[in-house]
Structure 1
């Protein structure tokens, strides 16, 4: 260690490539006239959290990292306290969590961007560490990195393509009132909004043109941010948009998703719109949104797609079929990482354009796992149609690698493809968040691969959220399994994601 080295060098937290890129970042801070930098990190819920630093303070963070409070990992999505942070062990039995301590976030130079809507403000994604240099136990980005290292040890990489649905709505209120203000554990009333087009005219050019102005602004922002968005589609519901992304490596895809949601919401809000990644908002006529995750494995050295079948007539390679078997075998336990909200489980209905049970098929949009593959096709892949757009991208993708590798290691057979998936005699997906959490709780695979600490922590966070909904339903004499979206869900999720 050289004299005067900082936190990052002391603990060896950057690769040589990151160290080299950090010098380019320093140059851009000066040449682009950057005054402020948002140092961001993803919380367990999949939301982007950030501190804003002066340019001078950020240059220091490129050597020493920057202190943040551990609180964003100890609160549920409403800000309710989940753990006894001020007792010994922080309510987790971990001495290092006592007293809600500081963490150190370390910027990843690969993720540096200048915000096009605030050109003197930059954004960079960070990894969080304890003061000892140990990775933070509950960091979703670290969870994904661990799985990517497992793949690397086998000479493989994961390629991910995003296909995300969300709602663009016009705000009906131009300011907040006391009704919109909540308190820890209680969300205020969600802002009112109304549709920008009538919906239910799939791919209507005329209806899409009604949304042209904000879509054009978003397209410009995505290009400036180097987000590989390649298409906008007018989906089913009023103002429902689907964005598709060029495939890229898994970590970059997860990072892109975090930035994509934040950028979309910020650009839209500045134009008087509200972009919501809530699965199914409580507005008349709105349809559920999904997030389809396209995934494949490639040779880490050559980039050759190892999912592509070797023989004509086969949809996938032998390895990919075993991976597919793992996705199916552990889909119920993995469901909560793709669908982490109360609201999401209303999607799983017969003939709903979303799956309701564990099925796969070749180029079939009614199954859970849609397979697209041909001999020599470097785009051969598995599309998981399970997710909702508010899912934590790091945990969603990590869950796929964990279950897929278990399939490979145990040569799991996916069985025959489904031709009529909504009547197939197979296991159904969980009908509620509590049932999904119970399935995760019973998974030895996830406890082993994500770690006992992480799984216990995640279960505690999400059960707090689930319990708050149950209390609301009981207090208002509501059936939690009803088809009706509740005010609680609208307030909880509409403007959080």
Structure 2
């Protein structure tokens, strides 16, 4: 038998090869009939194909051909650049948009509990040469984790993500409702809001919450809590800490599972940061994070009883603050996400840190001398690409460690602190991102130029659109 694409280019570790043998046995044992191979695109949205089992066995050797055309899509799935121009994405290998190769990661294999005989696996995008496509976001995170490991640390992070559950009234499936983008579904609230963390509010929507809970747990995701949040139908799911890519993998899987299962049961789930619904309160994604040393100890915990953070934790946090402007495109990639940054809103509006204060961008969580002390970055948009969100934190924190940065004094009143404001718009954020020497060095010139192009296109479409606000403001008075 000839050597397959994956082996020929050395794209799997020994652990992945062992996992591949194990999943093939599981497929036989459970009599699966198909496997979904998924790839996380530039927007954090899963794309992929559904494979019959005989073909999937071949894909575990050869990878799966996949259209690189998806890389030129904006969030409406409309091309950002002419599809067949030479060097359209700043990489001559993309000329003509040839097929790439999805290389599945056997360590991510799951059996989907709500579908009969169906498996699911994550993948990364490579060229036919075996080289990783520089725009593959899981690959961007992989590279950051490798560099962090070379410096003696392992990344530990936990998800705390808010979203809205609504009841689907009309999915708006008429042909006239299709387009770029299609008409949004019509929904209604599943319950009243503004009774934060009350048991009765959570119980009102327990039937759909139980469906989500049972499937997430059966998938092996480390669900920790389900909480009633502030707005009507707003909930928060938190997950136990994971290491390396596992947190980002869990985030993309959890989001797609929640959306798919909600739709199957007559609901619509949205991770949009600030939906245009009456009485809706913004949703965020708070990322809890720390480093683990080679001794398997929390490298952020203070060594003395009265020490808030170790030097490692302090310098890492300083890096997060230093590069918060440049990383905003990665933590908050949507036009809508910037409408969340408001004073006294439980979302940050400026670049500051504080001890146990939820108004700051970075909250130091844990008592002094606590072995579990870590950092909570409250900047994130629930729609963020998880791989880029985590990669931005690692690259920034590593720079803080490398340069021995100082975060300055804590902001005991974060909304009044004399600190740099977070970007007010995606347009501002893209400028900071494009000009970042650190991100160009860490992620590559091609990737930064590529994502800058994608996001500037999104901004230009937004600026060209006539909004409801403009119509109300000017239509009658002028």
Fold match (TM-score > 0.5)? yes
Distance 1:337 1:170, change over 3 A: same
Q: In the alignment, what sits opposite 1:380?
A: 373
Instruction: Assess if the C-alpha contact under 8 Å between 1:314 and 1:374 holds in 2.
Output: no
Residue matched to 2:349? 356
1:220-369 alignment to 2 at 5 Å?
220-299=214-293, 301-369=294-362
CA shift, 1:179, in A, is: 4.0
Contact 2:171–2:186 at 8 Å: present in 1 too?
A: no
Deviations 1:216-272 (A, max 9, x none): 011110111111111100000000000110001130000000000000011111100
Over 3 Å counting, the alpha-carbon distance change for 1:324 and 1:174 in structure 2 is closer
1:163 aligns with 2:125: no
Q: Which of 120, 127, 130 is 2:127 aligned to?
A: 130
1:473 is paired with a residue of what secondary structure? coil
Cα-to-partner distance string for 1:100-158 (whole Å, 9 max, x where unaligned):
11010111011101111103111000011000000011000010001000111011100
Q: CA RMSD in A?
A: 1.5
Residue 456 of structure 1 corresponds to which residue in structure 2?
449
Q: CA deviation at 1:83?
A: 2.3
Which residue of structure 2 aligns with residue 120 of structure 1? Answer: 117
Note if contact 2:308-2:369 (Cα within 8 Å) is conserved in structure 1. no
CA distance in 2, matches of 1:24, 1:82: 41
What's the CA shift for 1:375? 5.8
Summarize the alignment of residues 19-34 of structure 1 with structure 2, pairs less than 5 Å apart: 19-34=17-32
- Larger mean CA deviation between 328-337 and 391-400 belongs to 328-337
| 1:146 matched residue in structure 2 | 143
Deviation at 1:88, TM superposition (A): 2.0
Report if aligned partners of 1:430, 1:436 keep a CA contact under 8 Å in 2.
Answer: yes
Structure 1 unmatched ranges of 5 or more: 483-497
Q: Residues 72 and 81 of structure 2 are in contact (CA less than 8 Å); yes or no, is this contact kept in structure 1?
A: yes
Q: Distance in 2 between matches of 1:476 and 1:231?
A: 38
Change (3 A) 1:346 1:302: same
Aligned equivalent of 1:12: 10
Residue 476 of structure 1 and its aligned partner are, at CA, apart by 8.0
Which of 203, 207, 210 matches 2:204?
210
> What is the CA–CA distance in structure 1 between the aligned matches of 2:69 and 2:169, rounded to whole Å?
33
* Secondary structure of the structure 2 residue equivalent to 1:325: helix
String of CA shifts for 1:349-396, please: whole Å, max 9, x gaps. 110110000110111111100002456533211000000100000000
Q: How far 1:280 sits from its partner (Å)?
A: 1.1
Gaps of 5+ in 2: 474-478
1:94-113 aligned within 5 A? 94-113=91-110
Quickly say closer, same or farther: Cα 1:88–1:152, change in 2 above 3 A: same
Distance 1:382 1:55, change over 3 A: same
Give the drift of 1:176. 1.3
Q: What's the offset of the Cα at 1:32?
A: 0.8
TM-score normalised by structure 2 residue count: 0.96
Measured in 1, the distance between the counterparts of 2:8 and 2:175 equals 48
Once the two structures are superposed, residues 8-29 of structure 1 have per-residue CA deviations (whole angstroms, 9 ceiling, x without a partner) of: 1000000001001101111111
Quote the Cα distance in structure 2 between the aligned partners of 1:288 and 1:105: 35
The answer to whether structure 1 residue 85 and structure 2 residue 86 are counterparts is no
Q: Would the aligned equivalents of 2:227 and 2:235 in 1 still touch at CA under 8 Å?
A: yes
Aligned length in residues: 473
Structure 2 residue matching 1:172: 3-state secondary structure = strand
Question: Which residue in 2 is equivalent to 1:176?
Answer: 173
Cα distance in 1 for partners of 2:320, 2:242 equals 20
Q: Which residue number in structure 2 is paired with residue 490 of structure 1? A: none
Superposed displacement of residue 442, structure 1 = 1.4
1:420 has 2:417 as partner: no
Query: Structure 1 residues 451, 478: CA separation in 2 closer, same or farther (over 3 Å shift)?
Result: farther
Counterpart of 1:75 in structure 2 is 73
Partners of 2:125 and 2:132 within 8 A in 1: yes
- The answer (yes or no) to whether the contact 1:316–1:374 under 8 Å persists in 2 is no
Which residue of 1 is the match for residue 63 of structure 2? 65
